[in-house]
């Protein structure tokens, strides 16, 4: 096999663990032709609702679709303003843009990269209806703070928990605090399908009903299209795979935490700024270090066979598609620029071997030793 000595993520390890039970189950699914939603999706929704401790779970075909549906179900529409962190994946705001709503960007915390509530307070303006906190890199936002902020300003909270499945805040699952929570099952996420997938969760019966209608052609009953809807159904195959993986998720999260602790110990004596675990219990979707030498270090690691990632190098307010829609304040977003310009994501995945971890750590030490000469 060619390719990097240490890939950024290796999903074949998960497949090795699940294939013996997935293959016969897949044969049953094909036999039943249960391709779009169907019994496997219904079972997965029940399984994950129980796992998260939430009343309703609605399976869709991506995290972006989940956020779009949640936006509509929350009653956010044209001209409404929504507070969002400036440092996140663009999927956080697609739903807003599709509905003609306006993202109001906020800077993020230096420690976590999550939305900075002090900055959100400064960005409050007439017309702000909601806030989308993102549990970035798998670390919960300050949930207590976000809920109090939203309550004070009368805002709806939609959680973007795409990177934080399995994380908790005071013993309760992340994603279950807002009016709605959204998850992504993109293959590289902590719980990933064999393709695209997503989920909306809520305790609100009416929002759940609406979400179910919206994901399936706006149908409230067969042939009756109550709303302008979408084809956002989850594939049966994705539900099947996710259901087998969900049983192993907590074990895989434990492995991620062990790798994060290992990096923390082994890299403490380098000039890197390491990610801090500040809020709740982190599920380490990504392990992002910061250094002004990010690009040089990345090139060096690549030469050593260590693959890294960037999350996210171009802040949303500088994306061409947002020109004229959302402008950053004149004083800019210094902390977002720091994460964007200096952040480097190290390899992090369940099943990463000790030898692979050693390889990453040794290559980083080698970079700083070489530079010191």
Q: How far is the CB of 370 from ligand PLP (least distance, A)?
A: 34
Report how far residue 125's alpha carbon sits from residue 202's, in angstroms, rounded to the nearest whole number: 27
Residue 113 binds ligand PLP (CB under 6 A):
no
73 near 94, Cβ under 8 Å? no
Q: Does 162 participate in binding ligand PLP (rule CB under 6 A)?
A: yes
Q: Does 91 bind ligand PLP (CB under 6 A)?
A: yes
Q: Among residues 76 and 162, whose Cβ is nearest to ligand PLP?
A: 162
Q: Does 22 bind ligand PLP (CB under 6 A)?
A: no
Min dist CB 358 to ligand PLP, Å, is: 28
Cα torsion for 312, 146, 105, 167, to the nearest 10°?
20
- Using the contact rule CB under 6 A, the part of the chain among 40-48, 61-69, 171-179, 205-213 near ligand PLP is 61-69
Binding residue for ligand PLP (CB under 6 A) from 62, 190, 307, 356?
Answer: 62
For ligand PLP, the closer of residues 280 and 363 by Cβ is 280
Assess 92 for contact with ligand PLP (CB under 6 A): yes
Residue from 192, 198, 280, 309 touching ligand PLP (CB under 6 A): that is 198
Is residue 63 involved in binding ligand PLP (CB under 6 A)? Answer: yes
Please report, as residue ranges, which positions from 116 to 135 form the binding site for ligand PLP (by CB under 6 A): 134
Q: How far apart are the first and last CA of the chain?
A: 35
Please, which residues have CB within 8 angstroms of residue 17's CB and are 6 or more apart in sequence?
248, 351
| b/e per residue 135-153 (b: at least 16 CB within 10 A) | bbbbbbbbbeebbebbeee
Binding of ligand PLP at residue 163 (CB under 6 A)?
A: yes
State which residue has the least CB distance to ligand PLP. Answer: 63
Q: CA dihedral in degrees (79, 82, 84, 88; nearest 10)?
A: -50
Alpha-helical regions (H) of the chain = 12-32, 39-52, 63-73, 91-98, 117-123, 143-153, 205-215, 236-246, 249-267, 294-303, 334-342, 354-372
Shortest Cβ 197–ligand PLP spacing (Å): 7
How far apart are the C-alpha atoms of 96 and 91, rounded to whole Å?
Answer: 10
- State how beta strands 224-225 and 287-290 pair: unpaired
The least CB distance from residue 182 to ligand PLP, in Å, is 7
CB of 28 to ligand PLP, least distance (A): 26
Q: Beta partners for 173?
A: 168
Q: CB of residue 186 vs ligand PLP: minimum separation in angstroms?
A: 4
- Nearer to ligand PLP (CB atom), residue 128 or residue 286: 286
Q: Minimal CA–CA distance to 345: which of 4, 84, 3, 8?
A: 8
Number of residues located near ligand PLP, criterion CB under 6 A: 15
88 lies in the binding site for ligand PLP (CB under 6 A)? yes
The yes or no reply on residue 184 touching ligand PLP (CB under 6 A) is yes
Q: Which listed range, 4-12, 62-70, 254-262, 339-347, lies at the site for ligand PLP (CB under 6 A)? A: 62-70
Among 186, 230, 317, 367, interactor with ligand PLP by CB under 6 A: 186
Q: Is 268 exposed, middle or buried (0-12, 13-18, 19+ CB in 10 A)?
A: exposed
Contact residues toward ligand PLP (CB under 6 A) are: 62-64, 88-89, 91-92, 134, 160, 162-163, 184, 186, 196, 198
């Amino acid at each position: 096999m060619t390719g990097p000595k240490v890939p950024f993520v290796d999903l074949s390890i998960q497949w090795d663990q699940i294939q013996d039970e997935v293959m016969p189950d897949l044969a049953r699914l094909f036999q039943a032709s249960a391709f779009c939603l169907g019994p496997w999706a219904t079972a997965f929704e029940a399984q994950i609702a129980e796992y998260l401790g939430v009343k309703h779970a609605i399976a869709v075909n991506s995290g972006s679709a989940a956020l779009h549906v949640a936006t509509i179900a929350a009653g956010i529409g044209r001209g409404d303003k929504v507070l969002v962190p400036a440092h996140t994946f663009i999927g956080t705001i697609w739903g807003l843009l599709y509905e003609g709503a306006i993202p109001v960007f906020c800077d993020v915390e230096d420690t976590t990269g999550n939305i900075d509530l002090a900055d959100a307070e400064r960005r409050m303006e007439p017309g702000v209806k909601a806030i989308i906190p993102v549990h970035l890199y798998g670390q919960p936002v300050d949930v207590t703070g976000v809920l109090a902020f939203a309550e004070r300003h009368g805002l709806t909270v939609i959680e973007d928990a795409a990177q934080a499945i399995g994380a908790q805040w005071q013993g309760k699952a992340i994603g279950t605090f807002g009016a709605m929570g959204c998850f992504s099952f993109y293959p590289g996420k902590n719980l990933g399908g064999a393709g695209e997938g997503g989920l909306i969760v809520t305790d609100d019966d009416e929002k759940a009903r609406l979400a179910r209608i919206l994901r399936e052609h706006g149908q409230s009953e067969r042939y009756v299209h109550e709303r302008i809807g979408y084809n956002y159904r989850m594939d049966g195959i994705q539900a099947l795979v996710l259901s087998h993986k969900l049983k192993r998720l907590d074990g895989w999260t434990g492995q991620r935490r062990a790798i994060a602790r290992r990096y923390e110990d082994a890299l403490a004596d380098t000039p890197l700024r390491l990610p801090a675990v500040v809020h709740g219990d982190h599920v380490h979707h990504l392990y992002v270090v910061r250094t002004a030498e990010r690009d040089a270090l990345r090139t060096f690691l690549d030469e050593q066979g260590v693959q890294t990632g960037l999350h996210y190098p171009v802040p949303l307010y500088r994306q061409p598609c947002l020109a004229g829609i959302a402008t950053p304040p004149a004083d800019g977003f210094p902390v977002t620029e720091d994460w964007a310009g200096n952040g480097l994501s190290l390899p992090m995945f369940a099943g990463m071997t000790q030898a692979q971890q050693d390889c990453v750590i040794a290559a980083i030490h080698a970079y700083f030793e070489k530079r010191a000469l």
